[in-house]
Amino acid sequence: MPFVKNKFNIEKPTMAFLFVMKALNFRQGQAQSHIARGRLWIDGISMVQNNRIISGDIELIYFEASGRGNKPIFENKDFMLFDKPSGVLVHPRTMLTPYSMLDEVRTYGGDNANGCHRIDMETSGLFLASKTKKSESGLKGLFQDRNIRKSYLAWVDGEIKESFEVNARLKVKDKNSTLKTKHKVLIDEEGKTARTFFKPIFYNNMLSSTLVECFPYTGRTHQIRVHLFHVKHPIIGDPIYGTSYEASDIYLNGDMSKAQREIETGASRLLLHAQNLIFNYKNIKYILETRIDFKKMEKFIIDKNIRKFNS
């Protein structure tokens, strides 16, 4: 379990945030945030007062990395690059999350290492992480300013013969929406600008599936998935976009079996993969590519006569 609770004894009374700074090697802001999240306990009760003087026996909850051997495929003194497996979160959702890429990031990069961008749990491929707070700020800035070019590979339903572009605004569904859809993101004229270029690479006639290279010019949530669904070529294995309302509901409730997912979506996992990253950092141009041969992921696609896409 990455989050642990350990006991400490404080002999000399001290301010809570100063103790956390020393115990966990945190900066002041980190320590204050840690306490505000209720991760310092006294006599079995969570304490959230940063300036409180504490002494004696206390307990601290903190993240303790537990890597599983997913080593960086590239690294330098500032950052690391991982090939993230499908089905793995980049960051723990709660303190009960058993494993995430943060375990690997901190195992190989130390306590100040951190992920620098989002990648969906079910999407596999390149994940960039910083080693220092300074490099984290710089790399996140490159992503936010769209100075990092990204490309993905996806196996999609049906045949695509020519390259094309989708320029359709995307809007994250309001939590109070009454629309009967499990889609988190919708095509909506009131949404944010979203633009993706698609290029077909290979068509498997037996599986009626096309391997497509995807170039997102913007970085909206679920952008590639929604744009491909919009043009009626949903990504194979997508349990949200391209399936029926009933099927997506079963998936989101955690009740969909592997066999049922294969029938409903065409594969047991989302066949979307972060392929490469291109950017300039400290006057050096980096062209970083995955080591995974994603074309071989066609082995996950089940026969077209069995699956029942709602495309």
Give the model's pLDDT for residue 104. 97
What integer is the mean pLDDT of 148-153?
97
Q: What is the dihedral of CA 232, 233, 235, 237, to 10 degrees?
A: 70
220/239 Cα distance (integer angstroms): 19
What is the pLDDT at residue 95?
Answer: 84
pLDDT at 74: 98
Q: What angle do CA 61, 67, 72 make, to 5 degrees?
A: 130
Does residue 89 surpass a pLDDT of 70?
yes
* pLDDT at 182 (0 to 100): 66
Domains delineated in the chain: 3-63 (3.10.290.10), 74-144 (3.30.70.580), 149-300 (3.30.2350.10)
Percent of the chain clearing pLDDT 70 (strictly above): 95
Q: Where in the sequence numbering do the catalytic residues fall?
A: 120
Q: Report, as an integer, the average pLDDT of 86-115.
A: 93
Q: What is the pLDDT of residue 306?
A: 76
Does the pLDDT of residue 94 top 90, yes or no? no
pLDDT in tens, 242-270: 788 888 889 888 899 999 999 999 999 99
More confident residue, 95 or 58: 58
Q: Cα–Cα distance between 45 and 42 in angstroms, integer?
A: 5
Beta bridge partners of 9: 57
- Residue 260 phi, psi dihedral angles, 5° rounding: -65, -40
Q: Which pLDDT score, from 0 to 100, does residue 178 have?
A: 53
Q: Look at 37-41, 128-132, 298-302, 304-308 and tell me which has the smallest mean pLDDT.
A: 304-308
Q: How many CA atoms lie within 13 A of 252 on its CB side?
A: 13
Name the nearest CA neighbour of 102 among 92, 117, 87, 116. 92
Mean pLDDT of 224-247: 92
Write down how long the chain is. Answer: 311
Q: Are strands 209-216 and 149-157 parallel, antiparallel or unpaired?
A: antiparallel
Mean pLDDT of 162-171: 97
pTM: 0.88
How far apart are alpha carbons 267 and 271 in whole angstroms?
A: 8
pLDDT digits (tens, 9 = 90+) for 177-225: 555 566 789 899 999 999 999 999 999 999 999 999 999 999 999 999 9
- Listed as own residue / partner, the contacts of 47-53 with beta carbons closer than 8 Å and 24 or more positions apart are 47/16, 49/16, 50/15, 50/16, 50/17, 51/15, 51/16, 51/17, 52/15, 52/16, 53/13, 53/14, 53/15, 53/16
CB under 8 Å, gap of 24 or more: what pairs does 284-288 form?
288/74, 288/81, 288/126, 288/128
Q: Give me 271's structure tokens.
A: 């066949």
